Chain A
């Protein structure tokens, strides 16, 4: 009878541990932005409003116009997706989750040309910002955020 009680406690322990360890699905937002100082035509994308001040301080531009985006819900943590505008595309290949961060391989293309390739561990609490090429009187900025 005592064995039954021990068994019950063990089952509860395992169930609770597994339930607690399971992480919820999360979405990674990837955006291609053009930073400029021209009069505002479009509002800043909601996904970057939290870091808008940081972007202004970093780049010295006041406006951030979205030219391409992708939103991917990660279920296994090993998915890939593409955020693209007319001339630029960002290919993201997620290679799993570890220690509260997603291992990502990023490739930035200008049409067919590979401009930049990087691997990063994208933290759920810290966006990744990439400074791209100068475009006209503005700047291409890439932002990745775990939502």
Chain B
């Protein structure tokens, strides 16, 4: 069974006859428009046949036409080639940038985590050793503490010899 396009082509070429022609004409929604199109198709066909006869060197014409098409489409094709010249293509630069950012973020996270003390005790100053000269301060005692809710460390020395007020001078 022929499709509509096949029937259309056959109708324009005058190859549709009998019952098939009647059925095809009945299926056309706008018969006048179809007739007009048939006429213009016939005129175009006649024109092409006349030109084809006049064109004696068809191969040369075809060759020239192909070369011109190649020239016209040439720069469009070479643009991507220019971009891809060298090792640093856009794609690689993009991946390089993404990789660098990821590495930077990773390093920042590692450094920040290392610098963040894990417990309160690491924040506070620690006193490791202490001593007073027993000959200078025989009654001295030392204690150390970190007051609650205060971020300071205190070395508390008792029993040092009291001194007169002039020792407070700069």
Assembled-state Cα–Cα distance A134/B99 (Å): 63
Is residue A58 within 8 Å, beta carbon to beta carbon, of the partner chain?
yes
Chain A residues whose C-beta falls within 8 Å of the C-beta of B51 in the assembled complex? none
Assembled-state Cα–Cα distance A110/B166 (Å): 13
Q: Which residue of B lies closest to A102 (CB)?
A: B125
Q: Which residue of B lies closest to A9 (CB)?
A: B99
Number of interface residues, chain B, beta carbon within 8 A: 50
Given the contacts A85-B170, A138-B168, A128 and B125 also touching, CB distance less than 8 Å: yes
Number of interface residues, chain A, beta carbon within 8 A: 55
Find out whether the CB atom of A136 lies under 8 angstroms from the CB atom of B122: no
Partner of B153, one of A5, A116, A126, A131: A126
Find out whether the CB atom of A121 lies under 8 angstroms from the CB atom of B161: no
Find out whether the CB atom of A117 lies under 8 angstroms from the CB atom of B131: yes
Find out whether the CB atom of A21 lies under 8 angstroms from the CB atom of B153: no
* Residues of chain B in range 99-157 having any CB-CB distance to chain A below 8 Å: 99-100, 103-104, 107-108, 110-111, 115, 117, 122-133, 136-137, 142, 147, 150-157
Partner of A137, one of B150, B165, B170: B165
| Majority SS at the chain A contact face | strand
Find out whether the CB atom of B125 lies under 8 angstroms from the CB atom of A127: yes
Is residue B61 within 8 Å, beta carbon to beta carbon, of the partner chain?
no
Given the contacts A21-B111, A100-B115, A128-B125, A16 and B103 also touching, CB distance less than 8 Å: yes
Assembled-state Cα–Cα distance A86/B127 (Å): 27
Is residue B92 within 8 Å, beta carbon to beta carbon, of the partner chain?
yes
Assembled-state Cα–Cα distance A100/B168 (Å): 34
Chain B residues whose C-beta falls within 8 Å of the C-beta of A8 in the assembled complex? 96
Given the contacts A16-B103, A125-B151, A130-B155, A116 and B125 also touching, CB distance less than 8 Å: no
Given the contacts A13-B107, A133-B163, A126 and B152 also touching, CB distance less than 8 Å: yes
Known contacts A68-B170, A116-B160; 19 additional CB pairs below 8 A are A1-B87, A5-B99, A9-B99, A20-B110, A21-B111, A67-B168, A67-B169, A88-B167, A100-B115, A110-B163, A113-B136, A114-B136, A119-B128, A120-B126, A125-B151, A126-B125, A128-B153, A129-B153, A136-B168
- In the complex, 20 of the A-B residue pairs with CB atoms within 8 angstroms, ordered by the A residue number, are A9-B103, A21-B111, A51-B152, A57-B150, A66-B170, A86-B167, A100-B122, A116-B160, A117-B130, A118-B131, A120-B125, A120-B126, A120-B153, A120-B155, A126-B124, A126-B125, A126-B151, A126-B152, A132-B160, A136-B168
